[in-house]
Structure 1
Amino acid sequence: MKKVNLLLLATLFTFSVFAQQDKGYVYLKNGSIIKGKYSYLENQQKLRIESSGNIWIFETDQIDSISTKRSHVFSEADQSLSGSKFFFRTELGVLAGNSENSQSAPFSISASANYRLTSLMSVGLGLGLEFFNETYTPVFANFEYKLRESSSTPYLFLKAGYQFPTEESNAIYYDVYPIWSSFAPWPGYYSQEGYDTRGGILVNPGVGYQQMITRGFGMNFAVGYQFHRLNYEGENDYSLDIDYNRLSIKIGIIF
């Protein structure tokens, strides 16, 4: 009789455990996703997961969410590690177009640290390297606005700042004239002297598309219009401003 009772208790216990098990996807706060059967233990203080013959037990504060099917649309908190409001964007590409620069498509790379003001809007600061006749370091403020709250979304951006030269001028400029002159160049005047690079303002609005692959990693493609003015100065108050109007084409990663 005792054996029958023990067997009955064991059967009821096993049935109660498996009856409470559900199948789905368990999203952890560290970015991991586990597919399998799950059930709560210890008054829902812990979660037991059985997947591919393995068993894991997690504290419930380690669990971000649970879904009955794999979700490709994450919340804003899901799109960054541990729900952080900070994210980083690194991009590289070219600045295509005709201008007074000798290079038709200089290489450009940039990185920015950004803070989410809302689920759609963020601001940040960034810097990079751009290789024109000379190498410049752009330092800029970055503003972004997503068009929808999804892991896959278009977004608008605006970068505005200043280009700082990192080397002396490598080119010879002929149209250099006094900054107080009303016409240029002066009759019969031209120069083949080297001139000091001073940098200039930078404005780069555009549109992009980003895809979050996991909650902490994604990729983007962006196209925009970049304007910047570079200043060169020589002796006797001679100065030259060169305006650049370029199409910025970049790919990047988000983390």
Structure 2
Amino acid sequence: MGNGRPLILVTNDDGITAPGLHALVNAMSALGDLYVVAPDSPQSGMGHAITIHNMLRLDKVEVHGDHDWYQCSGTPVDCVKIAMDKILPRKPDLCVSGINHGSNSSINVIYSGTMSAAMEGAIEGIPSVGFSLLNYSLDADFSGAAHVARIVASRVLEKGLPQGSLLNVNIPSLPLEDLKGIKICRQAMAKWEEEFDERIDPTRRKYYWLTGKFVNHDRGEDTDEWALANGYVSVVPVQFDFTAHHAIPFLNEQGYELNKIAR
């Protein structure tokens, strides 16, 4: 290090062997010096979970290229935390997470290990981006998504991001030449309508398998769901301050705040 090149932390939630991670590493290689710290197994849907009751393992692994690769037995957020404390020589200039197999648009940002890893980077004051490709196949073509990731990461390195924010980037599963462009969007009002499929195991005990469908209730043309459905890459700025600022005046007007608690 010390060569003037940006320092970039690369992580994900699909694990150290995931094709999307390797595509992201290749995309970032021209932009700076990389450290790769990823879970040793898939951690999809872990959200912002951290490991507090079990030990963590951290092993340096030989993968490819001139970068330092590490696998961690914990969650995506654990990977960022332990990278900051035990691996990185200094605070990185950029943290990128992904490229995820499947969408993290709309409400999926809440459950996403990919986005939580990026959010942990933002909490540490690092400009951070999560990338997701709308394709769940293990043989998905990440070339177009990697090209988009390089464009967005280059812009973040050059221009920065507002304090306390990060980017949620979702990419349609289309050939690069068919992508119409990049749209700055808001998160759509959409949710999972879930069911638990009841089944019987070989010992005749009941168990349940989560199923359901994703329903978009938002018809706005400024949302991530609209952009993705119409062939655009969606870029949604998100934040880790969960305060519902618009609700504070309502709570004050309705007398929720008390100067004394009556018995």
Q: If the TM-score is normalised by the length of the shorter chain, which range does it land in?
A: under 0.3
Higher strand share: 1
Structure ID, larger Rg: 1
TM-score, normalised relative to structure 1: 0.22
TM-score, normalised relative to structure 2: 0.21
Higher helix share: 2
